Amino acid sequence: MRIGIIGSGNIGSTTARLFAAAGHEVTVANSRGPESLRELVGELGQHAQAGTVADAAREADVVLVAVPLRAYSDLPAEAFAGKVVIDANNYYPERDGRIAELESGDTTSSELLARHLSGARVVKAFSTMNFRPLGSEGRPQAPRAERLAIYLAGDDDGAKAIVAGLIEEIGFAPVDTGGLHDGGARQQPGAPIYNNPMTAQEAEAAVTSRRS
């Protein structure tokens, strides 16, 4: 699969490593341009290359976006049309500035991204786990119940199935929190499951209890 990674910070670089190691063709992009990614791409090996944000999105089957939320509106929406987009962003007011729609709870950060990328199939995932366990705790050979959970939320079941497959492939257990609105809210900073590693069994119980 061709996977674009937009953002080369902790989550972007970690997911790029995981997907490249799994044999996917990975294109990494950031706001500073391909030259700034030479060292990272060299570390990732033969399955990775650097590109512009537009090219990384346009040439991919799946695009993971891991940028400061304040920068989401700078993404070239037309390049993401028809793509499965994994939203790994989080809203931190102290970094991103206060966004009235998010402060009021009227919408979620994933819905803002989906509105901007109106032709994309957005799934929120890879947004609740710190990059350290993400990079080291995947256990592809372990039973599902013993794997750590990575949560996903979205309104497109087909897109969620694709993202769930990627999560399983790198050794974690996909746990569905619902649609982009309610399910996205369950994953945001401050929520009980945020930055709280759990096995699949524990995570599914936690999500079920929050829905009841």
| Domains along the chain with CATH numbers | 2-211 (3.40.50.720)
pLDDT at 144: 93
3-class SS string, the chain: CEEEEECCCHHHHHHHHHHHHCCCEEEEECCCCHHHHHHHHHHHCCCEEECCHHHHHHCCCEEEECCCHHHHHHCCHHHHCCCEEEECCCCCHHHHCCCHHHHHCCCCHHHHHHHHCCCCEEEEECCCCCHHHHHHCCCCCCCHHHCEEEEEEECCHHHHHHHHHHHHHCCCEEEEEECCCHHHHHHCCCCCCCCCCCEHHHHHHHHHHHHC
CA distance 33 to 53: 8
Mean pLDDT of 137-152: 95
Q: Tens digits of per-residue pLDDT, 43-88? A: 999 999 999 999 999 999 999 999 999 999 999 999 999 999 999 9
For the segment 4-35, what is each residue's pLDDT rounded down to a tens digit? 999 999 999 999 999 999 999 999 999 999 99
Q: What angle do CA 41, 44, 47 make, to 5 degrees?
A: 95
Residue 155 is predicted with a pLDDT of: 97
Task: Kindly state the average pLDDT of the residues 138-160.
Answer: 96
